[in-house]
């Protein structure tokens, strides 16, 4: 009986990844051209937004965004979304309105076609198991901020196996925001993990409405890495956890 229930979810999941590959193949010649010169990266970004719409709408994934703060077109930010699903990356392009460079694990650069975004240096691959490579990637991200290019980075670094609970945040995003004195923007992905679950929960895959909250930018002007880094991490984590209702659930559980 469980196997019968699993079939529709698996079929939809296969459809999602077939759609991903086919749409990328169709758009790849245009991506290849736009990624050949840094001055054309913004065209590649706009095309990514179009690709994200095809990738999601074609398989019945729609989204609803709640904006709790105002983002300025010429503003420079460090975006910090919680990481719950493979869907998070493409959803970022749908909900963040202005150009940014994505910082993700270096292994993404090895994926055929998709890896071109990283080898072109439009996006930044970070190899967390190497301190030297991690430092180099963070320095590159800092250079992008200096040029007025916003950065998006998952502060958890990977997907939690106890969703929706968050993993401990790594320092990179917060060091960047403080060192460049730019605002950090928490982003809450409420239910991507229910639409496109990671690994074990394939049977739950299926179309749906992805809910996203983009929070008020948190200023870092006047903050110091030595005294404020941990506090900033806690502020951002608390914002996302509160939006997910995790603090409330914890209080209820404790009270019982």
Residue 227 and residue 172: Cα distance in Å, rounded?
16
Residue 155, Cα to own-chain centre: how many angstroms? 9
The domain of 169 spans: 2-255
More confident residue, 113 or 143: 143
| Range of lowest pLDDT (119-133, 175-189, 203-217, 219-233) | 119-133
Residue 169 and residue 154: Cα distance in Å, rounded?
9
Domain CATH number, residue 172: 3.40.1130
Mean pLDDT, residues 181-189 taken together? 98
Phi then psi dihedrals of residue 135, to 5 deg: -60, -40
Please compute, for residue 58, the number of CA atoms within 13 A of its CA located in the half-sphere on the CB side: 16
Residue 6 confidence (pLDDT): 67
> Residue 6: enclosing H or E segment and its boundaries?
helix 2-34
Residue 110 confidence (pLDDT): 87
Residue 209 confidence (pLDDT): 97
Mean pLDDT, residues 35-45 taken together? 96
Residue 33 has pLDDT above 70, yes or no: yes
Residue 198 has pLDDT above 90, yes or no: no
Inter-axis angle of helices 87-95 and 41-57, to 10 degrees?
Answer: 120
Convert the pLDDT of each residue in 49-78 to its tens digit: 999 999 999 999 999 999 999 999 999 999
Q: Which of 107, 151, 93, 103 is nearest to 124 (CA)?
A: 103
Residue 70 confidence (pLDDT): 92
Number of domains comprising the chain: 1
Residue 241 and residue 155: Cα distance in Å, rounded?
13
CB contact set of 159 (below 8 Å; sequence gap of 6+) = 83, 84, 85, 193, 198
pTM confidence score: 0.91
Convert the pLDDT of each residue in 221-243 to its tens digit: 999 999 999 999 999 999 999 99
More confident residue, 219 or 6: 219
Residue 128 has pLDDT above 90, yes or no: no
Residue 5 confidence (pLDDT): 56
Mean pLDDT, residues 203-227 taken together? 94
* Contacts of range 130-136, beta carbons closer than 8 Å, 24 or more positions apart: 133/106, 134/172
User: Dihedral sign, CA of 129, 114, 157, 18?
Assistant: negative
Residue 175 and residue 123: Cα distance in Å, rounded?
19
Inter-axis angle of helices 172-180 and 225-244, to 10 degrees?
Answer: 120
Residue 108 has pLDDT above 90, yes or no: no
Q: Which of 69, 115, 127 is nearest to 95 (CA)?
A: 69
Residue 250 confidence (pLDDT): 45
Average pLDDT for the chain? 90
Structure tokens at 33: 């051209």
Residue 196 and residue 9: Cα distance in Å, rounded?
10
Convert the pLDDT of each residue in 152-170 to its tens digit: 999 999 998 889 999 999 9
Q: Which of 203, 205, 212, 151 is nearest to 177 (CA)?
A: 151
More confident residue, 246 or 171: 171
Residue 212 confidence (pLDDT): 98
Site of tokens 């209702």 = 245
């Amino acid at each position: 009986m469980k196997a019968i229930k699993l079939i529709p979810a698996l079929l939809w999941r296969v459809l999602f990844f077939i759609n991903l590959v086919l749409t990328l193949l169709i758009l790849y010649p245009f991506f290849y051209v736009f990624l050949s010169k840094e001055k054309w990266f913004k065209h590649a970004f706009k095309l990514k937004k179009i690709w994200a719409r095809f990738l999601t709408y074609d398989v019945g994934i729609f989204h609803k965004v709640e904006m709790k703060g105002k983002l300025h077109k010429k503003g420079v930010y460090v975006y910090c979304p919680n990481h719950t699903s493979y869907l998070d990356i493409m959803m970022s392009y749908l909900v963040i309105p202005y150009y940014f460079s994505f910082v993700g694990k270096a292994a993404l650069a090895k994926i055929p076609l998709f890896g071109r975004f990283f080898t072109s240096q439009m996006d930044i691959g970070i190899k967390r198991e190497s301190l030297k490579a991690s430092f180099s990637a963070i320095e590159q991200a800092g250079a992008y901020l200096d040029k007025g290019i916003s950065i998006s980075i998952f502060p958890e670094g990977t997907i939690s196996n106890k969703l929706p609970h968050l993993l401990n945040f790594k320092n990179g995003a917060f060091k960047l925001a403080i060192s460049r004195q730019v605002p950090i923007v928490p982003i809450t992905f409420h239910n991507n993990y229910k639409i496109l679950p990671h690994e074990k929960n394939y049977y739950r895959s299926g179309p749906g409405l992805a809910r996203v909250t983009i929070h008020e930018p948190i200023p870092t002007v006047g903050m110091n890495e030595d005294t404020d880094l941990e506090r900033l991490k806690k502020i951002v984590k608390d914002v996302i956890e509160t939006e997910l209702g995790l603090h409330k659930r914890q209080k209820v559980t404790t009270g019982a």
